C-alpha cells in the first residue's frame, strides 16, 4: 500500500482545535463526508464510535488510528490530523493524543484494512517523523511530509 493511494492533501488537517475525543470523531466524520458524496457523516461517526467502544484506538505516545468499515465506502480513505493541543483519548498509555490517522474502509476489504492499519502504525512508530508532524503548521506541508516519508 502506498500512502498516496489513501491520503490526499484535502484530507490533511494541521493543528486542529478539537478539544475532545467526541469532537474529533464528529469533525472528521463531517469533513470526510463533505469530500465524498457517497459517504454520510452520521454513518462514519457511528462506525468510528462503535470501533472505539470495542477498545480505544489510541496507541500511545500521542498517536491514535481511529478506523472503521463503512457500507457506502468504495475505497480505503485516510485522513491525517494534528491537534493544536493534545486531547484525552483513552490511550493505552494514558497519554493524550495529538496525531491521528483516520482510516475509513469498505466493508468487504478485510485484508486491505489490516494491511493499511499495519502500514500506518509502522509509519507513526517513527519518532522523528512524529516530531516533524508535531512541528508542522500547514496542512499542505503535513501532506507533503507524510507522502515523502510514507
- DSSP string for the chain: --GGGT--GGGEEEEE---SHHHHHHHHHHHHHHH-TT--HHHHHHHHHHHHHHS--EEETTEE--EEEETT--S-EEEEEEEEEEE----TTS--EEEEEEEEEETT-HHHHHHHHHHHHHHHT-HHHHHHHHT---HHHHHHHHHHH-
Mean pLDDT of 80-88: 98
The catalytic residue positions are 67
Given a cut of 90, whether residue 77 has pLDDT beyond it is yes
pLDDT of residue 150: 75
Residue 93 in this model has a pLDDT that exceeds 80: yes
72 band by pLDDT with thresholds 50, 70 and 90: confident
Residues with Cβ < 8 Å from 111, sequence gap 6 or more?
Answer: none
pLDDT band at 114 (very low <50, low <70, confident <90, very high): confident
The domains of the chain, with CATH numbers, are 3-149 (3.40.930.10)
State yes or no: pLDDT of 1 exceeds 70: no
Distance CA 12, CA 141 (A): 9
Per the DSSP assignment, residues forming a β-bridge with 13 are 81
- pLDDT surpassing 80 at residue 69: yes
Position 71 pLDDT exceeds 90: no
Q: Residue 14 has what pLDDT?
A: 97
- pTM as predicted: 0.95
Query: Per-residue pLDDT averaged across 79-84, rounded?
Result: 98
Q: What is the mean pLDDT of residues 52-76?
A: 94
Amino acid at each position: 500500500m502506498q500512502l498516496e493511494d489513501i491520503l490526499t492533501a484535502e484530507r490533511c488537517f494541521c493543528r486542529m482545535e478539537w478539544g475532545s475525543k467526541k469532537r474529533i470523531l464528529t469533525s472528521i466524520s463531517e469533513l470526510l463526508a463533505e469530500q465524498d458524496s457517497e459517504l454520510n457523516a452520521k454513518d462514519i461517526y457511528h462506525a468510528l464510535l462503535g470501533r472505539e467502544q470495542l477498545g480505544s484506538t489510541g496507541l500511545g505516545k500521542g498517536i491514535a488510528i481511529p478506523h472503521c468499515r463503512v457500507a457506502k465506502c468504495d475505497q480505503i480513505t485516510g485522513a491525517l490530523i494534528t491537534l493544536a493541543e493534545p486531547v484525552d483519548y483513552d490511550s493505552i498509555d494514558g497519554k493524550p493524543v495529538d496525531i491521528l490517522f483516520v482510516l475509513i474502509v469498505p466493508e468487504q476489504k478485510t485484508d486491505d484494512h489490516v494491511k493499511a492499519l499495519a502500514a500506518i502504525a509502522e509509519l507513526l512508530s517513527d519518532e522523528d517523523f512524529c516530531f516533524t508532524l508535531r512541528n508542522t503548521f500547514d496542512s499542505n506541508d503535513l501532506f507533503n511530509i507524510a507522502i515523502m516519508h510514507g
